[in-house]
Amino acid sequence: MNKVRYIFVTGGVASSLGKGVSIASIGALLEAREFKVTIQKMDPYINVDPGTMSPFQHGEVYVTEDGAETDLDLGYYERFTSARLSRENSVSTGQIYYSVIQRERRGEYLGRTVQVIPHITNEIKNRILTLKKTNPDVDFILVEIGGTVGDIESVPFLEAIRQFRLDAGTENTMFIHLTLVPSITVAGEIKTKPTQHSVKELLKQGIQPDLLICRAANLLEPDVKEKISLFCNVKKERVISAPDIESSIYEIPVIYHNEGLDNEIIRYFRLEERSPLFFEIMNPTLAKWENLVSTLKHPRGRVRIALIGKYMQLSDAYRSLYEALQHGGLANYLHVEMDKIDSETITEENVGEILKDAQGILVPGGFGERGVSGKLAAIRYARENKIPYFGICLGMQTAVIEFARNVAGLKMANSTEFDSDTEHPVISLMEEQVSITDKGGTMRLGAYPCVLKPGSLIEEAYQKSEIYERHRHRYEFTNRYRNQLEASGLVISGTSPDGELVETIELPRHTHPWFVAVQYHPEFKSKPLDPHPLFIKFIEKSAQVRR
């Protein structure tokens, strides 16, 4: 088996420093040096997964290929690297306790007292080792410890990684600590004390960081690095600046590289022979990141997209979607201006005014009835005014309802999610969902194949006839309305291979420039270096609209 090295990333001083993006960028740099990586997230909360958490609490739920509902950081890992993540890449305190307690009930602890150390910590270590088994070809396993050092919840995880080093050896494990170096605005002075305290806090858990990544407004001056180095017992070259970025998180791999981060990792693990140190950008993958950043900074134009959803005021609730739109923009050398509109503010009366500048309209996924009438009004507006429309999940279901009501004449058409007694349930609970009562992990989740209709808009976008996309839903297009809606002009352009499930719909080319809606979530598979075809096409078509 390949020799695996482990990099553990903890966070200090404050939450929301961008640990997920940071570790994803480390992954990108290692891949640029032709190492294979995978990344695991350890979340200290007691929920088994974020699937049951509201986007208001936790941001987006990111769905992996194998249908795990995970933390949105996994989205960053997949966007920045080619690691294929699965259920095993996402661990929570809830999962750890759940399996330890199940084992206890089965009598597997043979009468012993079950304790945090060693039973919980062993289970945590096992999760890391499982990943090694399921990814035998990786060179690096990167593990992000969620939360902030000093939180009660993260203590068992820190203890587990401390022990992990004992088992795996110091030469095979590296501890990276991401911290904040604030400046006190009035004095303009850089403060290293919070970092010192945070490192002390880690030391209390028996962990001496090997490298520090310091979030700060600007690059750290050498004297500040020296001070941090001295007080935190970390070599000066291993104090890396992570300055606030100008345009996009996709700058981060290049910034880290310029700070010497990947060189230091290579030195630490003594991998110079396999991957010589280099000090300027000459690496082909890094060059791609550089180009991407330059396109982001100097777009050839702009395109204005209206997003109509329920959690629009939260920057993370549709994280993958915002990223995917940006990728679609990049592919067209355009800056995507996103007009995030709360669907509850839209009515039939004001929709024209609200959407008058939109060159494209997108309704993303969502749950529950709140805001649906605003979405329907926006979709009708897009359809009637020939504005490119892209519907995702609930955005497809509402597009079907809108079409049924306003084109096919089924005035009372609805989804049974919003009205269980509706006269025309054009969207209804999937057969397999009827008897399910548990909420966690029970939707139709993960990647499924879908066959596209030859000559359709969607086939044109993908340039292939069979695709795999990720789902997260309980409701579906009701088959008995197929004929009637098709007779009124709706095109069913993609179905499950057996033809049973409607996965994509569109309007015919001669009636609308681009109206495509999909039951799945294409945003999960879009990457900056490999933008998703539907986002590329949607942006391309929207950019052709003059307003």
Kindly list the residues in this chain that would bind ligand GLN in the complex (CB under 6 A): 365-367, 393-394, 397, 417, 472-475
Three-state DSSP at 69 gives strand
Three-state DSSP at 298 gives coil
Contact 534, 412 (CB under 8 A): no
Q: Confirm whether 521 is a catalytic residue.
A: yes
In whole angstroms, what is the distance from residue 460 CA to residue 483 CA? 24
- In whole angstroms, the minimum distance from the beta carbon of 415 to ligand GLN comes to 8
| Residue 451 CA: distances (Å) to CA of 167, 465, 492, 531, 535 | 48, 6, 11, 21, 19
- In whole angstroms, the minimum distance from the beta carbon of 500 to ligand GLN comes to 16
SS3 content of the chain, % helix, strand, coil (to 5): 40, 20, 40
- Indicate the pairing of strand 173-180 with strand 5-11: parallel
Q: Which is nearer to ligand GLN, 173 or 397 (CB)?
A: 397
Contact 336, 326 (CB under 8 A): yes
In whole angstroms, what is the distance from residue 272 CA to residue 376 CA? 58
In whole angstroms, what is the distance from residue 547 CA to residue 543 CA? 10
- In whole angstroms, the minimum distance from the beta carbon of 471 to ligand GLN comes to 8
In whole angstroms, what is the distance from residue 386 CA to residue 405 CA? 18
Q: Which is nearer to ligand GLN, 250 or 475 (CB)?
A: 475
- In whole angstroms, the minimum distance from the beta carbon of 61 to ligand GLN comes to 9
Q: Which is nearer to ligand GLN, 1 or 434 (CB)?
A: 434
Looking at the DSSP bridge assignments, the partners of residue 101 are none
The active-site residue, picked from 471, 523, 532, 540, is: 523
- In whole angstroms, the minimum distance from the beta carbon of 367 to ligand GLN comes to 4
- Return the amino acid letter for 419: D
- In whole angstroms, the minimum distance from the beta carbon of 393 to ligand GLN comes to 3
Q: Confirm whether 523 is a catalytic residue.
A: yes
- In whole angstroms, the minimum distance from the beta carbon of 519 to ligand GLN comes to 8
* Radius of gyration, CA atoms only, the chain: 25
Say how many residues make up the chain.
547
The active-site residue, picked from 144, 393, 424, 476, is: 393
The active-site residue, picked from 177, 327, 512, 521, is: 521
CA dihedral (513, 525, 463, 451) positive or negative: negative
User: What DSSP character marks residue 245?
Assistant: P
Comparing every residue's Cβ against ligand GLN, the nearest one is 365
Structure tokens at 338: 């996103």
Contact 139, 37 (CB under 8 A): yes
Q: Confirm whether 257 is a catalytic residue.
A: no
Cis status of the peptide bond prior to 118, with omega within 30 of 0: yes
> What strands, in cross-sheet order, belong to the sheet with 444-452?
334-342, 301-309, 360-363, 389-392, 515-518, 502-506, 491-495, 444-452, 466-473
In whole angstroms, what is the distance from residue 139 CA to residue 444 CA? 33
Residues 6+ positions from 57 with CB-CB distance below 8 Å: none
Structure tokens at 495: 């179905």
- In whole angstroms, the minimum distance from the beta carbon of 460 to ligand GLN comes to 25
- In whole angstroms, the minimum distance from the beta carbon of 363 to ligand GLN comes to 9
| Residue 89 CA: distances (Å) to CA of 77, 144, 145, 392 | 10, 10, 12, 26
Q: Which is nearer to ligand GLN, 109 or 367 (CB)?
A: 367
Q: Which residues are catalytic?
A: 393, 521, 523
